[in-house]
Chains A and B, each alone.
Chain A
Amino acid sequence: MITRRSFLGTAGALVVAVSAPVPAGATTGGGGPLAPTVFVRVDRRGTIVATVPKPDTGQGVRTLAAVLVAEELAVGVADVTLEQAPGDTATYGPQGIANSTSARQLAQPLRTASATARCLLVAAAAAHWDVPAEECAARDGRVTHPRHRPLPYRDLVADAAALDPATVPVTLTPPQDWRLIGRTRAGRADARDIVTGRAHYGIDTRPEGGLVAVVARPPWIGALVESVEDTGALAVPGVVAVVRLDPPGAGQGGVAVVAGSTAAALRGRETLRVTWRGGTPDADSREWLADLAAALPAAPPGDLQRVYRLPLLAHAPMEPMNATAHVTADGLRVWAPHQDPGGLATQLARQLGLPEASVLVNATLAGGAFGRRIEPDPVAEAIACSRATGRPVTVRWTRVDDTRHDSYRPMSVHRLSATLDAEGVPVGRHHEVVTWPLTVLPVFNNPAIVRASGDHFPYTVPGEVSVLLRESPLRTGFWRSVYAGQFGYAEECFLSEIAGRGGHDQVDLRRRLLPADSRLRRVLDVAAARANWTRGVDAPLTRGVACHLDYGSAIAVVVTADPTRRRVVGVHAAVDVGVAVHPSGVRAQVEGGIMDAVSTVLGAQVTVRAGAVVESTFGDYAWARITDCPDIDVAIVPSTAPIGGLGELAYPPAAAAIASALAAGGDPVTGMPYGTPVG
Chain B
Amino acid sequence: MDRYRLHVNGRQREVRVPGDTPLLWALREELGLTGPKYGCGVGACGACVSLVDGQAARPCVRTVEESEHTRITTIEGLSARGDHAVQRAWLELDVAQCGYCQPGQIMAAVALLARTPDPDDEQIAEALRDNVCRCGTYPRIRAAVRRAAELARGDR
Interface residues in chain A, defined as those with a beta carbon under 8 Å from any beta carbon in chain B: 57-60, 187-188, 190-192, 194-201, 203-204, 206, 212, 237, 261-263, 316-320, 365-370, 396, 398-399, 584-585, 588-589, 591-596, 598-599, 617-619, 623-632
Contact = CB atoms under 8 A, between A and B. Distances in A.
B99 A58 contact: yes
A592 B139 contact: no
A457 B128 CA distance: 39
Interface string B124-154: 1110111111111111111000000000000
Given A188-B97, A318-B132, A626-B131, 5 more contacts: A191-B99, A197-B74, A368-B97, A370-B134, A618-B132
B40 A594 contact: no
Contact of A594 (B26, B30, B44, B136): B136
Contact of A318 (B18, B128, B129, B134): B134
Nearest to A592: B136
Given A196-B75, A196-B82, A196-B87, A588 B137 contact: yes
A623 B132 contact: yes
B143 to A, nearest CB: 10
B26 to A, nearest CB: 8
B51 interface: no
Contacts, number: 198
B47 A318 contact: yes
A625 B100 contact: no
A630 B139 CA distance: 8
Interface of B: 1, 17-18, 21-22, 25-26, 28-30, 32-42, 44-45, 47, 74-76, 78-79, 82, 87, 90-92, 94, 96-103, 106, 124-126, 128-142
A399 B42 contact: yes
B134 A317 contact: yes
Nearest to B46: A618
B58 to A, nearest CB: 13
A318 B45 contact: yes
Nearest to A631: B139
B87 A195 contact: yes
Contact of B101 (A60, A318, A595): A318
B139 A618 contact: no
Nearest to A315: B134
Contacts of A599: 136
Contacts of A316: 134
Nearest to B21: A263
A192 B126 CA distance: 27
Contacts of B74: 197
Given A617-B45, A625-B130, A188 B135 contact: no
A58 B98 contact: yes
A368 B103 contact: no
A261 B75 contact: no
Given A263-B17, A263-B21, A595 B94 contact: no
A670 B129 CA distance: 29
9 contacts: A187-B91, A187-B92, A196-B35, A370-B134, A588-B137, A595-B135, A595-B136, A626-B125, A629-B139
Contacts of A367: 37, 98-101, 134
Contacts of B126: 627
A195 B106 contact: yes
B98 A365 contact: yes
A197 B103 contact: yes
Contacts of B103: 194-195, 197
Contacts of A623: 132, 134
Contacts of A629: 125, 138-139, 142
Contacts of A188: 94, 96-97, 99
A592 B42 contact: no
Given A261-B25, A591-B136, A197 B98 contact: no
A398 B25 CA distance: 13
B45 A618 contact: yes
Contacts of B125: 625-627, 629
Given A367-B98, A619-B44, A263 B22 contact: yes
A629 B37 CA distance: 23
B140 A591 contact: yes
A275 to B, nearest CB: 26
Nearest to B84: A195
Contacts of A261: 17, 21, 25, 29-30
